[in-house]
Structure 1
Amino acid sequence: MNTKEAVKRIEDLTKELNHYNHLYYIENVSEVSDFEYDQRLKELQGLEEQFPDLAASNSPTKRVGGDITKKFKTVKHEYPMLSLSNTYSEEEIVEWENRVKKLVPGKVNYVCELKYDGVAIGIRYENGALTQAITRGDGSKGENVSANVKTIRTIPLHLKGNFPEVFEIRGEIFFPLESFNALNKSREENGEELFANPRNSASGTLKLQDSSVVAERGLDCFLYGVYGTDLPADGHYKSVLNAGEWGFKIPTPEKKYLKRTDSIEGIMEFIHYWDRNRADLPFEIDGVVIKVDDYGQQEELGNTAKSPRWAIAYKFKTEQASAELEAVTYQVGRTGAVTPVANLSAVALGGTIVRRASLYNEDQINKLDLHENDTVYVEKGGEIIPKIVGVDLTQRAPDAKKIEFISNCPECEEPLKRLEGEAHHYCLNDLGCPPQITGRIIHFISRKAMDIEGIGAETVELLFAEGFIHNSSDLYTLTFDQIVGLERMGDKSANNLLKGLQDSKEIPFERVLFALGIRHVGETVAKKIAKALKNIDALRSATYDELITIDEVGEKIAISIQQHFLQAENVQIVEGLKTAGLQFEIEEKELDSAVLEGKSIVVSGVFQTLSRKELKEAIEANGGKNVGSISAKTSFIIAGDNMGPAKLEKAKSLGVEIVSENEFIEMIK
């Protein structure tokens, strides 16, 4: 295929994929199968790799992420992103509405919307293409999180219809409860600390450096506030509907997420409806927002220093229930972390029956000053396990005993230890404590690790109970006769499990490394280590100083890695997995030369001959290492046009050499 043909095919595929994406994620219509969609996406990825200069910054391939952002650039808002004044009082809503009517002449219409519990975002579009996404920040400036926002499927990369040439649209990015609960369930299974709530998790996810991780988490959004100098509407309500026609996911009147009314009665009806029905939503809200509809009236009302006078938020009181504390039990995760759980009398909360609430750690028990059989206040804010927020001291019996955190593991009786700087207590008997053993194996087979088909947590528990496995390497010694004898395991299931184990031998090294379950070595860190050290033997023999030079590996992770391989059993597991045929080194690409061996190089600016991607590939192909930020360890900077003045100043202050694109090309010739 020549360049001209590639341009046409890339245009066609991009148009098709954007169309299918809009239908599926905005209109809930599936026009093609997942397989057909994936085949087209794969074809586009292949063409972009073959013709890198034709790869657009807003290509549908950006949806899967992969960009790494070392530092989010601070950007000034063109239109200040003000906060809303809040109230919990219906009387204050009435007062606000009366005040509005006195300040502006003529009839006033109001728009009622949900107050999404997420992260405010402002997204700029030029000629129908997404160019920038900025967080609220301090209201006058925020952080550029464009690479991460592009992975959110409900945010269009290209618009359709009759949209303004340049405008900004604002709204809220949030964690759907289904995605949030699935993420926390995975963390719970891996013995990791649960995320506290969807809002904080959405905010943290948007700040992740690796956009591919953001893509996997399943964030969503509603966009509705349109800002610009030449908008095709004279009010907020019509602008929201227009945005829907341009391809945005908007809060629709049909779902009762949006309402226009000209009376205080209409406003109160909206407030009362969602106060009753908010538990049925697939996302969290913490109130409703009321705005004056007409842009002219908004301008006339103006703003205070912090808030617009033409809008107000009514916040719901957090739903709470009281229950009796029947007992405190303790769970042991795969890392040995011991988590206390309150077992409660059954109580209805947030549309579900709650019987358990997380107590997190000993500090939380002491903070609440929990006693046996206390009556406690429980809140549910989207977590898998609700939380206790207080105690009804009027119901406490005079002779009630204080809840004391256990001193021994509930599973193996080993004394617990609270490590310095840690909130959790740990059972250090990692080789003999059953839930830690099975937890590590369950982590090993999980989707993001070895992704072994035909085996789940229950099967792991059965195999362990039967004495067939004691660690992950034992999985590869299983026989058909052993498996087929398990409960609910027939011939077909046994063969599927064995095939899954065989197929897992092709899983690349970075995922095998993550699957080992080294404490603090998550999915992203495992990739960084694999890329830096190339194989497991280099990792086992790496010194502390060598480890902390790896990107994202700090003191805690380096010590954890060294401690992991000091245990003979962990070394034996690796040897067993090696014998089984798993991948313990990355495939090395043959280098063009070693002229850049040992050099750390920063690429900055816009280039004429090679693209940034081609420059970075050339660095690695000649033995060098790409780094994102300038430090005293930087060997040199390849500087193109428009190199940032801050980078230039830092390079000069550190004495880092600056070379041009042509000088670099000569260097590698």
Structure 2
Amino acid sequence: MVIKHDPEAQALQALRNEIRKHDQAYYVQDAPLISDAQYDALMHELQKLEAAHPEWITPDSPTQRVGGAPLSSFASIRHAVPMLSLGNAFEEADITAFDKRVTDGLRDAGLLGLADMVEYNCELKLDGLAIGIRYENGVLAHAATRGDGQTGEDVTSNIRTIASVPLRLQGENLPSVFEIRGEVLMNRQDFIKLNQQQDARGEKVFVNPRNAAAGSLRQLDPRITAKRPLRFFAYGWGEISGFTSPLPLTHADMLAWFSQLGFPLAQERRVVKGVHGMLEFYRHVSRVRASLPYEIDGVVYKVNHLAAQQALGFVSRAPRFAVAHKFPAKEVSTKLLGIEVQVGRTGAITPVARLQPVFVGGVTVTNATLHNEDEIRRKDVRIGDTVIVRRAGDVIPEVVRPLPELRPADAREFVMVTACPVCGSAIERLPDEAVSRCSGGLFCAAQRKQSILHAASRKALDIEGLGEKIVDQLVDQGWVHSLADLYRLSVEKIMGLERMGRKSAENLVNAIEKSKQVELSRLIYALGIRHVGETTARDLASYFGSMTALMQASEEELLKVTEVGPVVSGSIRRFFAEQHNQDVIADLLQVGVQPKQLEKSQNDTLAGNTFVLTGTLPTWSREEAGKLIMEAGGKVSGSVSKKTSYVVAGDDAGSKLEKARQLGVNVIDEDQLRRMLGLS
């Protein structure tokens, strides 16, 4: 603890403040006030003082940026406010349509003054890794990656090593909780230098600055991250609470406030009006893009007035008040050496072009997608052609078209395989579908990992703790070939997995054992039968009552089930016609999986009614609400139609609520549902 009147303590605090001032000048304002040698001398003096008085070291001291001991794994952090992604626009017409949606939305909300020539804050779309950093009482508390938008990885120790991230916010009267959001990236020159160092040491070189930034930030050893030239730029915020002063009224003013708090901002930004202003900013950034020190893949437009942002709200996983205007994909030509097929996690057969290596968009590309057989025919792509390759959205390489004028005489047409190259099962393609698929299902090794993850998911067998990393190891070790093999795993065997101790292994084995007592509908859903979702699985379980009856059902019997049509019934019959799928189910029953029918209460007050659940309910999860509806004789559907009786809407309800209003379907909340169920 620092003693206020101790001369050495006062000198230490003054030294910290001096170093923070120089950090701000160097990393945020890009205007250093002293030489590197002078800065090093100040830091050395601070380290000496803290070494003499370790009890005076605080988490926000400049010396605490050095990485600590390696982590065994990243913990998870749930975002207090979800980290949503942005919708994309590629053409000028998309921006005109975005502006119209915004204008119409503001008029519908009664904000006529803001709807007339809408004001937008324009920013760069930085090509890095999105991060949320939480400060409590002005001091950095924790940091997390975007993850799935709801939960991210805890990278606090690594974020602390980035010099442009303040450990303590500047200024007075700070919020008690403040979450800044932004991008961690690496400048082009820093990236080149890092790769030269990696190559000289015989270590892995990175393919582009984004890859290098992401790999550096997600190091389990923070000391490695500390050696990497990472930078942070702020552009948004999450939770802000405990703030007595009024918040700024516009997005641009919020960014200005962030700068006062000590955060660096990308300098290319401006406030404009209407479509013309947005497109002019886009054209300006396109001209200066090559001269920027870091990579970008577009620009972002956000409605500037925060009241307007709030009125527009969100749809699905993206805000209505913002859009990313992406740059055109980069294109180059190269030789198509061959076409192979890959089996995806859901059995989809995707033709993949094997290319003569070519550098496009900062990446050396050797493979590119050809999407499906029809696309190959439509584009008339042949093996041996010179083709145009594009990195679509600067991410996924695809073959755009061949150059027929350069076609060699021995160019060959592609012939789709008839058997799965992984498991030998038949390849099937339904009449109205573009994609061919492997019929191997649970048997196919290419689909095995995804099949197991799906089966273990919360809405299926609900095996807590069985995540992607563990499944990868179980399959790669050859310990799990089918679902039934999960039930043969021992604590000792699981302890042999990477970063798996006895307690974790015991918890996983207990969760697997618990899943043996599973509702029939959940087991049917867990099998991953194509076109059979949760609702259809419940209908099948209710109608047939047992797995044996379902497996033996004819298509005619299946068609008697509510909302099961020819496509779904055909898919079910084909699944159960495969001997290896029958073997897997028999094996599950053999190891003790005991499917049971959903118990129904005597309450049938909701019989004949179909409900759709959307948004976040106040006290129930949607699964809990759905189960209560079904126990009362009602039906739960995943989509809204004219046959829907009620839509139960919670917070942040999206397109389903809008469709219900368009169709005139009754919309109720949780309290009204409770009353219908007789629970209040």
TM-score by length of structure 2 reads: 0.50
State the partner residue of 1:424.
none
One-letter amino acid matched to 2:71? T
Assess if the C-alpha contact under 8 Å between 1:123 and 1:132 holds in 2. yes
State the partner residue of 1:132.
142
Whole-angstrom distance in 2 between the partners of 1:71 and 1:155 = 23
State the partner residue of 1:47.
49
Assess if the C-alpha contact under 8 Å between 2:384 and 2:408 holds in 1. no
Whole-angstrom distance in 1 between the partners of 2:58 and 2:218 = 23
Identity rate of aligned residues, in percent? Answer: 34
SS across alignment from 1:111: strand
Whole-angstrom distance in 2 between the partners of 1:26 and 1:129 = 18
Residue in structure 2 matching 1:84, options 75, 83, 86 = 86
The alpha-carbon deviation at position 45 of structure 1 amounts to 2.3
Deviations 1:429-466 (A, max 9, x none): xxxxxxxxxxxxxxxxxxxxxxxxxxxxxxxxxxxxxx
State the partner residue of 2:525.
none
State the partner residue of 1:149.
159
Assess if the C-alpha contact under 8 Å between 1:222 and 1:251 holds in 2. yes
State the partner residue of 1:174.
185
State the partner residue of 1:275.
286
One-letter amino acid matched to 1:124? R
Q: Structure 2: state its 5+ residue gaps.
A: 337-353, 370-375, 413-472, 474-497, 512-680
Assess if the C-alpha contact under 8 Å between 2:85 and 2:318 holds in 1. yes
Once the two structures are superposed, the pairs formed by residues 112-261 of structure 1 within 5 Å of their partners are 112-162=122-172, 164-166=174-176, 167-227=178-238, 228-229=240-241, 230=243, 232-252=247-267, 257-261=268-272
User: CA 1:379–1:81 in structure 2 vs 1: closer, same or farther (change >3 Å)?
Assistant: closer
The alpha-carbon deviation at position 161 of structure 1 amounts to 2.7
User: CA 1:188–1:274 in structure 2 vs 1: closer, same or farther (change >3 Å)?
Assistant: same
Task: Tell me whether 1:295 sits opposite 2:306 in the alignment.
Answer: yes
**What is the RMSD of the two structures over their aligned residues, measured on CA atoms?**
4.2
State the partner residue of 2:532.
none
One-letter amino acid matched to 2:308? Q
Whole-angstrom distance in 2 between the partners of 1:391 and 1:56 = 60
Whole-angstrom distance in 2 between the partners of 1:316 and 1:133 = 30
One-letter amino acid matched to 1:245? Q
Deviations 1:100-155 (A, max 9, x none): 11221222321111111111111122332222211111111212211111111111
The alpha-carbon deviation at position 186 of structure 1 amounts to 3.2
Assess if the C-alpha contact under 8 Å between 1:10 and 1:44 holds in 2. yes
State the partner residue of 1:12.
14
User: CA 1:54–1:137 in structure 2 vs 1: closer, same or farther (change >3 Å)?
Assistant: same
One-letter amino acid matched to 2:274? S
Assess if the C-alpha contact under 8 Å between 2:129 and 2:213 holds in 1. yes
Whole-angstrom distance in 1 between the partners of 2:394 and 2:85 = 24
Whole-angstrom distance in 2 between the partners of 1:185 and 1:379 = 25
The alpha-carbon deviation at position 266 of structure 1 amounts to 0.2
User: CA 1:395–1:208 in structure 2 vs 1: closer, same or farther (change >3 Å)?
Assistant: farther
Once the two structures are superposed, the pairs formed by residues 257-656 of structure 1 within 5 Å of their partners are 257-322=268-333, 358=364, 374=386, 377=389, 392-399=402-409, 631=501
SS across alignment from 1:217: coil
One-letter amino acid matched to 1:144? D
User: CA 1:75–1:188 in structure 2 vs 1: closer, same or farther (change >3 Å)?
Assistant: same
One-letter amino acid matched to 2:57? A
Whole-angstrom distance in 2 between the partners of 1:90 and 1:273 = 14
SS across alignment from 1:289: strand
Whole-angstrom distance in 2 between the partners of 1:391 and 1:91 = 24
Whole-angstrom distance in 1 between the partners of 2:171 and 2:319 = 30
Residue in structure 2 matching 1:63, options 59, 65, 80 = 65
One-letter amino acid matched to 2:330? E
Whole-angstrom distance in 2 between the partners of 1:181 and 1:388 = 27
Assess if the C-alpha contact under 8 Å between 2:89 and 2:326 holds in 1. yes
Q: Structure 1: state its 5+ residue gaps.
A: 326-339, 403-553, 555-627, 634-645, 654-669
Assess if the C-alpha contact under 8 Å between 1:374 and 1:395 holds in 2. no
State the partner residue of 2:638.
none
Deviations 1:345-386 (A, max 9, x none): xx9x88xxx9xx84679x9xxxx9999994664779999xxx
The alpha-carbon deviation at position 159 of structure 1 amounts to 2.2
User: CA 1:388–1:649 in structure 2 vs 1: closer, same or farther (change >3 Å)?
Assistant: closer
One-letter amino acid matched to 1:286? D
SS across alignment from 1:125: strand
Whole-angstrom distance in 1 between the partners of 2:11 and 2:399 = 58
Assess if the C-alpha contact under 8 Å between 1:342 and 1:358 holds in 2. no
The alpha-carbon deviation at position 388 of structure 1 amounts to 10
Assess if the C-alpha contact under 8 Å between 2:302 and 2:323 holds in 1. yes
SS across alignment from 1:120: strand
The alpha-carbon deviation at position 214 of structure 1 amounts to 1.0
State the partner residue of 2:27.
25
One-letter amino acid matched to 1:243? F
Assess if the C-alpha contact under 8 Å between 2:385 and 2:402 holds in 1. no
Whole-angstrom distance in 2 between the partners of 1:92 and 1:382 = 18
Deviations 1:314-352 (A, max 9, x none): 111222244799xxxxxxxxxxxxxx99798xx9x88xx
User: CA 1:396–1:235 in structure 2 vs 1: closer, same or farther (change >3 Å)?
Assistant: same
One-letter amino acid matched to 2:153? E
Whole-angstrom distance in 2 between the partners of 1:378 and 1:277 = 22
Whole-angstrom distance in 1 between the partners of 2:63 and 2:42 = 10
State the partner residue of 1:415.
none
State the partner residue of 1:620.
none
Whole-angstrom distance in 2 between the partners of 1:205 and 1:39 = 28
User: CA 1:401–1:242 in structure 2 vs 1: closer, same or farther (change >3 Å)?
Assistant: same
SS across alignment from 2:300: strand
User: CA 1:648–1:36 in structure 2 vs 1: closer, same or farther (change >3 Å)?
Assistant: farther
Assess if the C-alpha contact under 8 Å between 1:226 and 1:240 holds in 2. no
Whole-angstrom distance in 2 between the partners of 1:41 and 1:163 = 28
User: CA 1:397–1:96 in structure 2 vs 1: closer, same or farther (change >3 Å)?
Assistant: closer
SS across alignment from 1:244: helix
Whole-angstrom distance in 1 between the partners of 2:388 and 2:199 = 24
User: CA 1:82–1:375 in structure 2 vs 1: closer, same or farther (change >3 Å)?
Assistant: closer
Moved more, 87-96 or 158-167: 158-167
TM-score by length of structure 1 reads: 0.50
User: CA 1:191–1:62 in structure 2 vs 1: closer, same or farther (change >3 Å)?
Assistant: same
Whole-angstrom distance in 1 between the partners of 2:42 and 2:393 = 40
SS across alignment from 2:293: coil
User: CA 1:24–1:101 in structure 2 vs 1: closer, same or farther (change >3 Å)?
Assistant: same
The alpha-carbon deviation at position 269 of structure 1 amounts to 0.7
Whole-angstrom distance in 2 between the partners of 1:647 and 1:18 = 46
Whole-angstrom distance in 2 between the partners of 1:40 and 1:629 = 41
Whole-angstrom distance in 2 between the partners of 1:153 and 1:127 = 20
Deviations 1:185-226 (A, max 9, x none): 333445544323322332222110121211221111210213
